Structure 1
């Protein structure tokens, strides 16, 4: 039976999301006759973890659904076993990159990729703890419907199922590598307050995420669209497109990859850096791999913690680190685009060593541009005043550390890419975890 992994990484209270994601797992198993491994990777504090355990225990058994709820200690034990058997160099460093002490959007997804590999899954479907499903006729709209229908199948077979196809015939023989949608509701990054306070500052701050040299007309459009997903689009019926999916049309809360993608490359493990988990979306696009874009958008919302003073400052650091990561990532994306389909080997798989080389080369970028980015943030935040002054003070105090960290994050990523093949090949027993709803 085909196995797939529906994963929910979390470090905050999300009992309702656990129940809703379990319902999506049951729907996928029932509709497609697959075994869905619902993988909840939980690094919450003890009190929150206990609440999640109760939520998992309360899930009704569902045919074809296997639930794994792993806390930080269980994840670390599994990783130690995998890393130990892999024989990779710098084992302790690799463990730190896979399970860092800080928040890492890439690392939590990398752990899901690795668990999925060892569970024998053919795809990973990711959701987020701060999102929920749209409804139609009071029923949840599950993205897994399109993900399971298309992933891994030759594009030529998928085309008749789509609303439309924009894929060139030359790519029709390749399997669909990625299926994704976007989000509706609140912005993925909490920048709306800046826009209300000072639209000019908003344009300047958001503009830090736009590649240098982008034509002004495109730049204006990208600034207007950044972090807004599908806006307020309401789901009224399915619309799907077989295409090379543009990275700005999908979100990591609503994405699924085939094993031929995540089995070859991990995500950047940078800590406290939003957007660090979008690398594979960009890779799939630039390697000209087939994908499906759908409109089963997930509803995004901001948790209360982000609106506290502590949460606000933590998020400003993550946003600043994203702006500092941008030139390094853009340099890699430019080289990926230049190579195009040659990123794939004779079997149609991503040449990981080539990507690692591009990542490693980016470390040598001149840091002057990033120093300028921090100066822009400092000036803009002090113009806004209020709590943004505190954010400017924090970033100024950490200026040199942040500049150094941006380059080291790319070096760490190259190290993890080098180790990835060994990590995914080193077979271990399925990780010990609570199981619910196992079908014999």
Structure 2
């Protein structure tokens, strides 16, 4: 029987989301006859973890659904075995363990852990949701993205082409498997910068523009800035529409995504801590190598947790946004090279040549420091112009300036190191299986 992994990484209270995602797992098992492994990777503090334990215990038993609720200790036990199996020596294993389970928030690392555990469970795909999202409803029924993910992921593109509303497959890709299936979100912006846009549209454009690669004509840059982080707007679901084609990373969201194992078993996500957006790396890679993808309109409802609205939460999130804008200086050089290489980065079976991509990442570490320094100058000046509580962000950036610049570079070196060991890690995960279940 086909096994799939529906995963919810979390570090905050989300009992409602746990209940809702369990319903989606039940839907997948019932409607598609698959074995769904619901994987909750929980880094929450002890009181919240206890609430989550109760929520999981209260879930009704469902045929075809197995729930794994792993706290950080249980995740570490699994990872320690896997890194020991794959690494040549204890020091190398320790470094890999730190990259897989860092002490700080890492959007890429939590998803990488899901990839490895999915390998251990024998799953053929990973489907990620987030704690700050809900499902849309139509006539009282939830609209589950898993429907399209299970329909298309891993299928030969030409075999499912006619079932999509639209199809625009690149020449030569009809025999390749669908690598990514995803939708976007409706509701609040995915990145908490709406207040900046309202306070000063020009400063907003300056900041968001730093996330874009160079070379776009000005009219396109303005369009992309306006569309960034806004998802699918506010329109309610009114019937399925799907497009079979390479997916632009700007058209989907990581709270509403599914990956085929042939993609994530070869290339991980950057484990950069306290940095939003870096977990979109595989979406860029799949798009730039022209792998078939399925974009749908079963958008998830996004909202911002109360923690983000506190002073501490606000500052932490803005720094994560700044770190993303610094990381973009390095990532955009990698994306430029993967775009130029196109499907030459794929082997005869349509699988990613991971060693070549790792070389691109490693080369980016040597980026001239002038560009990141200029970016940080622009960012700090922008936050000072905004004034008010944004002055605190600017002061924090000034205090952490050398550290922020070093981390942006070192995070790419860490990513290259993880890529060098990734296929050994996925192989070791398959051999180890999952000894701990929740």
TM above 0.5, yes or no, is yes
- Separation in 2 of the partners of 1:103 and 1:425? 26
The residue aligned with 1:84 is 84
Deviations for 1:383-430, whole angstroms, at most 9, x for unmatched residues?
Answer: 111110111000110011101110100000000001111111111132
SS in 2 for 1:322: helix
Shift of 1:64: 0.3
The residue aligned with 1:438 is none
Shift of 1:205: 1.4
Query: Which of these residues, 388, 400, 405, is aligned with residue 403 of structure 1?
Result: 405
TM-score by length of 1: 0.97
- Separation in 1 of the partners of 2:434 and 2:273? 27
Shift of 1:344: 0.9
The residue aligned with 2:338 is 336
SS in 2 for 1:212: coil
The residue aligned with 1:437 is none
User: Do the aligned partners of 2:185 and 2:232 also contact (CA within 8 Å) in 1?
Assistant: yes
The residue aligned with 2:418 is 416
Matched, 1:32 2:32: yes
Matched, 1:429 2:410: no
Deviations for 1:106-161, whole angstroms, at most 9, x for unmatched residues?
Answer: 00000000000010000000000000001111111000000000111100111121
Matched, 1:317 2:319: yes
Shift of 1:307: 0.7
Deviations for 1:238-280, whole angstroms, at most 9, x for unmatched residues?
Answer: 0001101111101100000000000101100000000010000
Deviations for 1:288-340, whole angstroms, at most 9, x for unmatched residues?
Answer: 11110000000110000001000011011101100000011110011001111
SS in 2 for 1:96: helix
- Separation in 2 of the partners of 1:213 and 1:345? 29
The residue aligned with 2:302 is 300
- Separation in 1 of the partners of 2:372 and 2:424? 34
SS in 1 for 2:285: helix
Aligned length: 434
- Separation in 1 of the partners of 2:98 and 2:165? 44
Shift of 1:375: 1.4
Shift of 1:88: 4.2
The residue aligned with 1:6 is 6
Query: Which of these residues, 130, 145, 148, is aligned with residue 146 of structure 1?
Result: 148
SS in 2 for 1:209: coil
The residue aligned with 1:371 is 373
Matched, 1:134 2:107: no
The residue aligned with 1:42 is 42
The residue aligned with 1:245 is 247
SS in 2 for 1:278: helix
* Unmatched runs of 5 consecutive residues or more in structure 1: 435-440
TM-score by length of 2: 0.98
Residues 161-200 of structure 1 correspond to what in structure 2 (within 5 A)? Answer: 161-200=163-202
Moved more, 164-173 or 230-239: 164-173
- Separation in 2 of the partners of 1:401 and 1:88? 31
- Separation in 1 of the partners of 2:231 and 2:88? 39
Aligned-residue Cα RMSD (Å) equals: 0.9
* Unmatched runs of 5 consecutive residues or more in structure 2: none
Judged with a 3 Å threshold, the aligned counterparts in structure 2 of structure 1 residues 170 and 108 are, in CA distance, closer, same or farther, namely: same
- Separation in 1 of the partners of 2:203 and 2:233? 21
User: Do the aligned partners of 1:88 and 1:422 also contact (CA within 8 Å) in 2?
Assistant: no
- Separation in 1 of the partners of 2:25 and 2:228? 30
The residue aligned with 1:264 is 266
- Separation in 2 of the partners of 1:32 and 1:372? 51
Matched, 1:282 2:308: no
Residues 96-107 of structure 1 correspond to what in structure 2 (within 5 A)? Answer: 96-107=98-109
Runs of 4+ in 1 over 2 A off after TM superposition: none
